[in-house]
Amino acid sequence: STQSTWGILKILFANMAEQQERAFQKQKIFLNNKKLNKNNRYWKNVGLGIKTPRTAIEGTYVDKKCPFTGNISIRGRILKGTVVSTKMKRTIVVRREFLHFVTKYDRYEKRHKNISAHCSPAFLVKEGDQVTIGQCRPLSKTVRFNVLAVESKSKVTKGFVKF
């Protein structure tokens, strides 16, 4: 009896470490789910050849908008871009650059779009990182994408390099 009480308290203290909101955050209980690990943590594979990160499976964070541990399905477009800003809470701004053809001058011009995307606590994202984002239902006024994978910024810098 005391051992089971201690186990419950241990789980509660682990959850308290992740509690940063005013309301108590907890995962919804999914009854017929086969993918519950030893901490009774729900996680899923989003498909599309994207692996579920280890931090999503073994972590203790609670995020209902996470595509791996929450109730969000990825459908529609899969895009790649560069992280421009990480100043918002669990939201990043991704810049996508493309070329637009101007027929009058028979040339291309550079253009870009900034896209807001929800970033799960499973990822540690810094400015300059390359991210893969997937379209989902609207999560807020401007956010319609979710981060699926992160490639760290390479060591190559802009400019000339010694041979």
Give the pLDDT score at 13.
Answer: 47
Interior angle at CA 15, CA 26 and CA 71, nearest 5 = 30
What is the model's pTM? Answer: 0.76
Residue 98: the pLDDT is 93
Identify the pLDDT of residue 156. Answer: 47
CA distance 60 to 56: 8
pLDDT of residue 28: 65
pLDDT at position 141, please? 96
pLDDT at 154: 63
Q: Are 129 and 119 in contact (CB under 8 A)?
A: no
Residue 24 φ then ψ, to 5°: -70, 125
The H-or-E segment that residue 87 falls in is strand 78-88
Please state whether beta strands 145-151 and 130-135 pair in parallel, antiparallel, or not at all (unpaired).
Answer: antiparallel
Mean pLDDT by 10 residues, the chain (163 residues): 51 54 65 57 86 87 88 93 94 95 97 96 92 95 96 64 53
DSSP string, 116-155: EEE--TT----TT-EEEEEE-S--SSS--EEEEEEEPPPS
